[in-house]
Amino acid sequence: MGRPATKPIRFKDGFYIEIRNKGSKTSGIKLRRDTEKQMQQSIKEYERTKDVIVLGESKNGKWVNELVKAKQD
């Protein structure tokens, strides 16, 4: 085992959502989509079986709009 990474994570440009199992308290998988329409399609696909959290849009490594909408069932 080596030492842990110290460089902060840089997100690519796009729209991000987080997917995790229903009822889970741990962090899930972050998914990136190029357009907002693609992001909405992914939300519809996953919302039946997973908790979906919209993280927002990232441009130039910075968040444009954070936590636009949180969807949890």
Single-letter code of the amino acid located at 22: K
Per-residue tens of pLDDT for the chain, all 73 residues: 789 888 888 889 999 999 999 988 888 999 999 999 999 999 999 999 999 999 999 998 888 875 545 444 4
Provide the residue count of the chain. 73
| Domain locations in the chain as residue ranges | 11-18+25-61
pTM: 0.77
pLDDT computed for residue 18 by the predictor: 94
Establish how many alpha carbons lie within 13 A of residue 48's alpha carbon, considering only the half-sphere containing its beta carbon: 4
Integer Cα distance of 32 and 42 in angstroms: 10
Integer Cα distance of 14 and 21 in angstroms: 23
